[in-house]
Every structure is written in structure tokens, then in C-alpha cells.
Structure 1
């Protein structure tokens, strides 16, 4: 037990817990008025997120102690379950904003696509680690895992959930790139991906999705409709300045900035805690991502290395897309800020993922500590 505590990666323990705890504070600050307006107690969203935090920490502890190499034996089962859930949500899911992405179970809801991210990372890490000898053969070594990836991406886009699909696509690219694939094969994959996007674009483009681009890049031309949300985000960020208006003192969360406790929680952070608060949060995300990359480079087996890369890229990519949306760099896609935004499925998957990453780190730390001794 003492040896396990010695090998534990406390950076990957303390940082996500701090971000989540901070997220609970900001969720309460950003949602208390919204909750009351909806007819609930002011702590409604705080309590619900706290429940998932508790469940997620149980998952974190279990996965941090469970040997990550055993996941390779569970890959087929996990993929079957995920595909079953993605098909099920299209049939039985609850439709919100013209998308079927959620199962509603009593007072709670579950988003299968969040679990698909982690399952697909495990799948690709397992397959490409076993195909290291065949990576020079595009048809035999590179292409087969992408068929399964396309099936999962296709099911998610049918919901439709373009934001999650984009995140998964970028995660897949990072894992494939890190697997050691030849650049010419990577170029072929990029070409195929672009071709599929061009083919699918006429079927996926709607007035609603086009409005997201208008709202992102020409917000002041439609200040009362498509550009409204981004303009309110700009106001929150601008008012916050360097040090912010003070915790709990946001004005934009009082009905002006919708989704203040979910996708746009960073705008509330900027308004209440200023540029300094934003930099600290981004810095903590950077710590997790860079630590994950460092662990992947130290890991001696390719499965662990690719798994660490996949988890790190999932957190980094999701944070980048969220921050890009609130600042107008990217269209609004409904992607939550990792650990901080309200959302039980997202938080649960993130904490489980951090437990897995910590287990990989523990193996690396144990090997290095043994060498020192």
C-alpha cells in the first residue's frame, strides 16, 4: 500500500479534483438564478453535479487501481455496448433542440456519445498497438480500425451531434498520428476525410447550422438572434477585465447569457474572476495535457502510450473547442468545458479517464522508482 501511494501521480490526482471542485462553485454561481426561475431550489444544478462528482470519484479510484493493460481484453465488449447505446438513443432517446443525444432516466440523463469517446480511444490504442508491425501497410495496418471509427462517428452524426463528432475525429487523428503511421498514409487519410466531408456537407448543412457560423463570425449583424449569445459572452469577458467583478457578481448570468452554467461557463469565470482566473484555469488544463503527453513518452508499451495520448488529447481538444466558441474563434457547437461545465455524463467520463491515465502514470513512476532504488 505504501508503495502504491509512493507511485501515485499526485499531479493527475489533485489537478482534476481542483478543477471539478472549482467547477461546482462556478456552476452554483452561474445557475442559481436560472434554477430559481425554472421553479427549482437555487442549489438544483449544484446538487446534481455533486452527485456525478461523487460517482465519478468512485470511478476514478477504481480505474486508477485497475491495471490498464486488462482493458485490451474488454475492448470488444465495450465497443458492442457503445454501439448498442448509440443505436438505442436514436430510437428511444429524448429529443432536445432537434437532436436525439440523451437517455432520460428519472431525474437524470445520460449522453452515450461521451462514453463513446473513451471507448474509441481504448479501441484505437489497442488495435494500433497490436498492428505496429503492419503500420507500413495501409490496407492491412491502418484502414481496418477506421471502419469501426466511421460507424461510431456516423451514429453520432445521425443524432445529430456535430460538436462531439468533431472532437472524436480530432482525437482519432491524434492517436493515429502518434501510432507511428507514415506521413503519406496520413495524407491519404486526410484526403479521404475531406472528401467524405464534402460529400456529406449538402446533407448535413441546415439553416440552423449555417446560423452558427453567422453568429460566430458576424455576430453584430444579427445581435438579436444568431449573434446574441456571442455578444453576451463578449460583454462578460470585457467587463471582467484583469481581476473580475468578484465571485458571484456576474450580471450576464442573470438571464442575458443563456447556457451560462454549461457551454458558456468560462464567460462567467471571466466576468467574475477576470483574466487572471481564466489564465489559471487554462494553465491547469495545460498541466493535465502536458503531463499526459509526458507519461505517454515514458510509457514502455505502445497501448499505454497511445491510451495516454488519446485521453490527453480528448481533454485538450474539448477545452480548445469550448474556449474557441465563447471567444468567437469557432462556431458554437455545444461542447462543455472539461471538469467545469455542468454535465454529468461528461464529468463521469473525464474522471474515469483521469483514473486510467493515473494508472498508466503509476506504472511509469513505479519503474522509475525501482531504478532509483
Structure 2
């Protein structure tokens, strides 16, 4: 029997996301002259579809359908990302000067959301064949084993970070790859080498992109006073950067969190959505939730995410098939680090990455992809005694 608790936790988070998509979209509805229930109806439809897909995938026999679904997600999403830059604007929608969505009749789909799940399957399937717990390899042998995956990852970097101008998703996939490697039996030395390589590659992608440099400047404009206060005055004054741009996104997000207090301003009573951050229902949803529902509401969301990730890791621990176990671990890492990266960006701890909060941020592609991921974990949970 599939894990009912995991299904229950996921459904509650989806319901919270639907409610907040209605509450936090008030201003943008007026600006674009949409109907009052425009975002609510779209997110509710995606939520119903997502829950149905989650239930349908949970009924699949892993021995018969898991590999077929995994390879389909990986190859089809990869192919869609490769052809998307060449599609006309009437088919491929743009954001930030890059094409990220493919328009289909009645809805749009972001191939990168489905690819993340396919990529986790690919890593789980491959690592389970290459690495075995208890078998020791030299660092050279491990590097040769991981080399083909690095090639695939470089293709991913090009398709997502360069062609789609979305470094945040690459950071998320890099973290997932590294930690799945450790869970599969790779060494910390190899992880360290890969980490240095990713840092170098990440630095290169930042310094060659004006909008990424701006994001770093905005983050430092908000964070430098707090960080430099820990250093001696001579050092702090030497490295202080003057005339930085105003970090309005982080400023308004942190103000919303502060204004929410313990109990919040009340559902629908938040101010951040009134033009301060026009699309707070997407990437800044945690700030909107905290302002309207307070730290109690945010705490409930954190508790639900923690319970969900705990259940997924518990399922992974009880599965005897290493490929299945690694896949569950990968899904938990995707969901967990998406939440962490977004929350760190909203609170000003790190630069904003533009990563959606699973199940809470407005957006059908992210919601459906995450529901499919949970559905596949539920399918695998039928083989775990929990």
C-alpha cells in the first residue's frame, strides 16, 4: 500500500498554494485587467490535475512502468529543451529574454521542470549500476566513472543556464547530483573536486551575465552592513562597496516577513502584493505567506515540508532496490533544496535565484512535475515496509 501520510502532506501544501495564489495575486489582477478568479481558477485546475496524476502514478507497478516513465521524462524533456530556442515566439514563450515555456492548446509547459525529475531518474539508474556500497575505488577510478555524467551536466548547463538564462535550476541540479553521488557510494574527495569545478563554472556564468552580476550586487547591497559589522573597521571600510543599486526585492520581502509577526496580518490583508512586489504569488510566495499568516503559517509550511521529506527518506531507507532508493533520495533533495534556496533568497541570506517553492508557488508546470515526482515515490513506497 502506498504511503498515505506522504499523499496527505502533499495535498495540504497544494491546498495552501491554491489559497495563496488567490490572495497574493490581487494587485496583478487589477494591473492586467484579469478576472477576479483568474489565478485561482488556473492554479486550482493545475492542483486537481496534479493530485489526480499523483494518485495515478502511485498505482503503477514499479517493476513494469518505473523505467519507462523515467526514461520518457528524461529524453522527452531534454529534446524539448534542445528544440525550444529554435521555436517561433508563437509556440515558445519568453521570460528575461530567454524561451522557457512551450505553448500547448489551453496551457504552457516548462520542459526544465520535467527534466529535473528525469535527470534524477537518470542519475539514480546510472549510479546504482556504477557504484556499490562497500566497494572502494581510487579517486581516479571514481573520476572516470563520473566523467560521462559531467558531460551530460555540461549540456544541461548550456541548455538551462545559457539558453534559458536560469542559473538557479543549474545550482539545484548540481547540489542534487553531488549529494546523490555520496548516497550512491562516492567519496568525499570526489565531491570536493566536483564542488570546486562547479564553483569555477558558476563564477564564469555569473561574470559573463549582466543580470546575474546585478543580482549579486543587489544581494551585497542588502547584506554588506551585517557582514562587515563582524570585521575590523579598517578591513570593513576597505572592502565596502558604495553606490550599489537599491535591493528593493529583498527589502520589501524582508519587510513583509517582519510585518507578519507571529500571527500575521490576516489572509488577504498583506501589503507586499499591492505593487511592492507585483508577482509575489510566484517566487516570493514565502514572504507573502509570512506577512498574511505570520510565523505560525510559515512554521506550518516548514513542518509539512519537513514531514514530507522525512517520509521520502524513510521510504528510500526501506527500499531494497538501490535505483529506487536513490530516486526517492533525489526527489527529496530537489524538493528540500528548492525550498531552502528560495527561502534563503527571500530572506536575503543568498542572492535571489528565481526558483519556485514546490507546491506553494503559482505555476502549473512546477506543480504538476512535483506531483508526478511524489506519485512515483508513492508507487515505490508500495515495496517499502513502513
Settle same-fold status: TM greater than 0.5: yes
Contact 1:211–1:226, Cα closer than 8 Å, also in 2: no
318-327 or 188-197, which moves further after superposition? 188-197
- The match for 1:217 is 220
SS at match of 2:186: coil
- The match for 2:12 is 18
- The match for 2:344 is 324
- The match for 1:65 is 59
- The match for 2:233 is none
- The match for 2:375 is 355
Is residue 29 of structure 1 aligned with residue 32 of structure 2? Answer: no
Root-mean-square deviation (Å): 2.3
Change (3 A) 1:64 1:209: same
Q: What is the distance in 1 between the residues matched to 2:113 and 2:130?
A: 26
Q: Specify which structure has the higher proportion of helix.
A: 1
SS at match of 1:109: strand
Contact 1:299–1:305, Cα closer than 8 Å, also in 2: yes
Contact 2:73–2:114, Cα closer than 8 Å, also in 1: no
Q: Alignment partner for residue 240 of structure 1, among 257, 260, 277?
A: 260
Q: What is the distance in 2 between the residues matched to 1:191 and 1:110?
A: 33
Give the aligned length.
Answer: 358
After TM superposition, list the pairs within 5 Å mapping 1:282-293 onto structure 2: 282-293=302-313
- The match for 1:3 is none
- The match for 1:89 is 84
- The match for 1:51 is 45
**Alignment TM-score, normalising by the size of structure 2:** 0.87
Q: What is the distance in 1 between the residues matched to 2:335 and 2:326?
A: 14
- Following superposition, the deviation at residue 235 of structure 1 comes to 1.7
Is residue 309 of structure 1 aligned with residue 329 of structure 2? Answer: yes
339-348 or 32-41, which moves further after superposition? 32-41
Change (3 A) 1:258 1:222: farther
- The match for 1:164 is 169
- Following superposition, the deviation at residue 73 of structure 1 comes to 4.5
SS at match of 1:72: helix
- The match for 2:111 is 112
Q: What is the distance in 1 between the residues matched to 2:346 and 2:181?
A: 29
Is residue 79 of structure 1 aligned with residue 78 of structure 2? Answer: no
Is residue 338 of structure 1 aligned with residue 333 of structure 2? Answer: no
- Following superposition, the deviation at residue 76 of structure 1 comes to 4.5
Contact 1:120–1:149, Cα closer than 8 Å, also in 2: no
5+ unaligned residues in a row in structure 1: which ranges? 1-6, 369-373
Change (3 A) 1:62 1:135: farther
SS at match of 2:24: helix
5+ unaligned residues in a row in structure 2: which ranges? 224-240
